[in-house]
Amino acid sequence: MKRLSLKRRSFLKTLGAGAAALVGMRMVGQGASSDGEPQAASPHKWAMVIDQAKCQGCGYCTLACRAHNDVAPSISWNRVISAGKVKDREIFLARPCMQCEHAPCVEVCPVGASYHRADGIVMMDYGKCIGCRYCVVACPYGARAFNWEEFTGPNPAVPMWGQPEVERRPRGVVEKCSFCYQRIDRGLEQGLKPGVDPEATPACVVACPVGARFFGDLNDPESTVSKLLADHPYYRLREDLGTSPRVYYLPTREEASS
Amino acid sequence: MTARSAHRRPALHLTRFQLWLLALTTVIVAGLIAGVIVFTRGLVVTNLTDLVPWGLWITIDLSSIAMSAGAFLLCAAVYLLGLKQFQPVARTATFVGLLGYSMAVLCLLLDIGRPERFWHALVFWNPHSVLWEVTMCVTLYLAVLALETAPILGQAEWMQRRRPRLARLLSSVHHYAPYLAVVGLGLSLLHQSSLGATYGVLKARPIWYRPDLSVLFIVSAMAGGPALTALASMLAARLSKRVHIDDHLLERLSHAIGWVLVGYLYFRFWDAFAMTYTYAPGRTEGLNLLTQGPLSFNFWIGEMLLGAVVPIVILLKSNWRRNPPLRMIALALIVVGVVAYRWDTNLAGQMVVMSYLPQDITARFTTYTPSLIELISGAGIVAFGLLAFTLGVRYLNVVDHRAIEHAEEQALEPALEPTQ
């Protein structure tokens, strides 16, 4: 009669085969994920500058963002909050995703659904996200929102504030501001300059009626953002955390409140 | 029911065992219905928000994993430290572990937004993520637990009768128990602590951001896991005549658990005390929530008094420990304390909402109470664990401190024959 007991050798073989299978799975994963952006270095380093001296807190940026990115009314990729008063004038803080250079969300994501593009934009792979919400917990800026329910029906911000340019996210994944990467990419293809040409610039920057938001390439010393940061005092949110945000704020100034 | 027994008893008389099964099945069915509602309607049926995205299910998940720690500890004690007399307890602990991890997996399937993508972490690797490491370890350890429980199935009398060849194959896995114990020890130490680190690495949450969380998670699991195994064994022996336990063995184990708990309390004291040294934004507010705010009852009564101090006294005072009912109370309190610790830790970091305004360092607070759907589906998962353990006691003999050695010898015998 054939004995059916496992031999040590075959047991260890099985263990080895299991380990090999795991590595194999990873190969599959890498193959499947290589459809994204090429990881070559990008000539660009996108950044946003928000001038608190100019911001009136109208919230047009949030609405334009909702329309162009087809964001549900219950979610704000860009939030405008009250930030206190200076000489009776209310100050506002507009908060898109900070597109951190050292992004906690990218580090904690168990499946790599949050990742950096070569130009520094923190992207979401909505096809990979499992909806564990670790990134929501990890983000110091509250910039991430989970799709607790499916967003169906018309978007109330459309067409008043623009037309959707990206696919609506399904239920069960986390979403966030992407610096309107679709506008940047399409603009660059057409030979436009993000930050200068409205078609190639994030929707919130274009929509701002008082010109409080600026966008551009920090690698280009002649860009508006490079010049603004060279000439003005600026700060970034929670710099103590070491996240290195790519959104810069110009604090309100004396001359602005007069 | 036959006519003969009907005239002796009332028509619908159920035994205590049948009533217990009926109650558990009812809760499981309710939980299944709640689960279907979660899957069809989405997580909007929970009370979770973007401010508190992890709630009751994550607490049950963390607690189940902690309660499974008896498996790796007792297997290591038996096969690596050579404490062979604990082998029957290790057998129970392994079975409890398998159930605990199954419960954890069920919780996660409910909790993640895209349950059909549960396998993504195995294929799309992000080795920087603690949660990725936890997922890998839990998956691998689940496989180890399945192998470790295979002999239990192989030794079941009905299995040996109906499928003798399969039964022998399953039993033969027992020869690899020492290897499995090493692998299980490594994987468990890694991910039990990493579950603490999952919280501990988040700089955005000051009450979590500290190195001790990983230590506290593993040490509390080392007390809670064996405690549940010992408690379940004693309960089973009291409720069923076919369960035989060696009370002296469980008493010795409980003594050790008492000392682990002393170690845990020591770490916990310095951990909490160090947070009072100075005002730290967010961290101080979090500590406040725990010690004076909405979590303070859980913290002082659930975690400290009932979860640590009382069981330490009972388990270290030898004449109290030798009293089985008192010992069972102590073991049950440890389980309560560990669950309370997981609940408090998970919520303390989320109920404090940090500001990112530069001039505003103070934190705001939010609240969370699980929704009915969360409670029912969570109860369903716990009932599943209880039912599976009950059936394991009944049909797989998972709590039997008597017949094991004999069965092991039987399983070992063929392997001792020369094969060539």
pLDDT digit string, tens, across residues B2-36: 445 445 555 678 888 999 999 999 999 999 999 99
Asked if residues B122 and A22 have their Cβ atoms less than 8 Å apart, the reply is yes
Asked if residues A52 and A61 have their Cβ atoms less than 8 Å apart, the reply is no
* Nearest to B367, CA basis, from B419, B294, B305: B294
- Looking at residue B11, its pLDDT comes to 65
| pLDDT above 80 (res B407) | no
CB-count exposure of residue A209 (10 Å: 0-12, 13-18, 19+): exposed
| Mean pLDDT, chain A, integer | 89
The helices-and-strands tally (H runs, E runs) of chain B is 19, 2
Question: How open is the CA angle A108-A112-A117, to the nearest 5 degrees?
Answer: 105
ipTM of the complex: 0.90
* Nearest to B169, CA basis, from B419, B414, B420: B414
Helix (H) or strand (E) holding A20: helix A8-33
Mean pLDDT on B65-94: 95
Residue A185, min C-alpha distance to chain B (Å): 26
Residues B308-317 pLDDT 10s: 999 999 999 9
| pLDDT above 80 (res A3) | no
| pLDDT above 50 (res B397) | yes
Mean pLDDT on B168-174: 93
Asked if residues A227 and A240 have their Cβ atoms less than 8 Å apart, the reply is no
Percent of chain B with pLDDT over 70: 93
Question: How open is the CA angle A47-A53-A57, to the nearest 5 degrees?
Answer: 85
Going across the sheet that includes A213-217, the strands are: A213-217, A46-51, A247-250
Question: SS3 for A46?
Answer: strand
Contact B117 A128 (CB under 8 A): yes
Residues A143-201 pLDDT 10s: 999 999 999 999 999 999 999 999 999 999 999 999 999 999 999 999 999 999 999 99
- Looking at residue B8, its pLDDT comes to 57
Contact B202 A108 (CB under 8 A): yes
Contact B179 A11 (CB under 8 A): yes
| pLDDT above 90 (res A42) | no
List of chain B residues whose C-beta atoms are within 8 Å of the C-beta of residue A172: 42-43, 112-114
**Residues with Cβ < 8 Å from B312, sequence gap 6 or more?**
B258, B261, B262, B265
Asked if residues B64 and B416 have their Cβ atoms less than 8 Å apart, the reply is no
Residues A115-154 pLDDT 10s: 999 999 999 999 999 999 999 999 999 999 999 999 999 9
Find tokens 């759907």 and name the residue.
Answer: B373
CA distances (Å), origin B170, targets A17, B71, B151, B154, B233: 19, 18, 5, 5, 24
Asked if residues A130 and B117 have their Cβ atoms less than 8 Å apart, the reply is yes
The pLDDT-based confidence of B178 (bands split at 50, 70, 90) is: very high
**CA A207 – CA A192 distance, rounded (Å):** 18
Considering only the beta carbons, identify the residue of B41, B44, B113 that sits closest to A130: B113
**CA B195 – CA B221 distance, rounded (Å):** 11
DSSP state of B305: I
- Looking at residue B359, its pLDDT comes to 76
List of chain A residues whose C-beta atoms are within 8 Å of the C-beta of residue B172: 4-6
- Looking at residue A9, its pLDDT comes to 63
Residue B62, min C-alpha distance to chain A (Å): 14
Interface probe, candidates B41, B49, B50, chain A, greatest A C-beta count within 10 A: B50
Contact B53 A146 (CB under 8 A): yes
Q: What is the SS3 string spanning B137-203?
A: HHHHHHHHHHHHHHHHHHHCHHHHHHCHHHHHHHHHHHHHHHHHHHHHHHHHHHHHHHHHHHHHCCC
Contact B356 A172 (CB under 8 A): no
| Mean pLDDT, chain B, integer | 92
Mean pLDDT on B380-391: 97
Weakest mean pLDDT among B88-92, B167-171, B294-298, B412-416: B412-416
Contact B122 A5 (CB under 8 A): no
List of chain A residues whose C-beta atoms are within 8 Å of the C-beta of residue B419: 3
CA distances (Å), origin B413, targets B145, B398, B401, B409, B416: 24, 21, 20, 6, 5
Task: List beta partners, residue A215.
Answer: A48
| pLDDT above 50 (res B158) | yes
Percent of chain A with pLDDT over 70: 83
Would you say the C-alpha torsion B238, B243, B249, B254 has a positive or negative sign?
negative
DSSP state of B300: I
Query: For the whole model, what pTM was predicted?
Result: 0.89
Q: Count interface pairs A-B at CB distance under 8 A.
A: 166
- Looking at residue A253, its pLDDT comes to 78
Residues B104-117 pLDDT 10s: 999 999 999 999 99
List of chain B residues whose C-beta atoms are within 8 Å of the C-beta of residue A76: none
Cα Rg of chain B, angstroms: 23
Weakest mean pLDDT among A240-249, B42-51, B239-248: B239-248
Asked if residues A2 and B172 have their Cβ atoms less than 8 Å apart, the reply is no
Give the domain B20-410 fold.
Formate dehydrogenase/DMSO reductase fold (1.20.1630)
CATH 3.30.70.20 fits A42-257, yes or no: yes
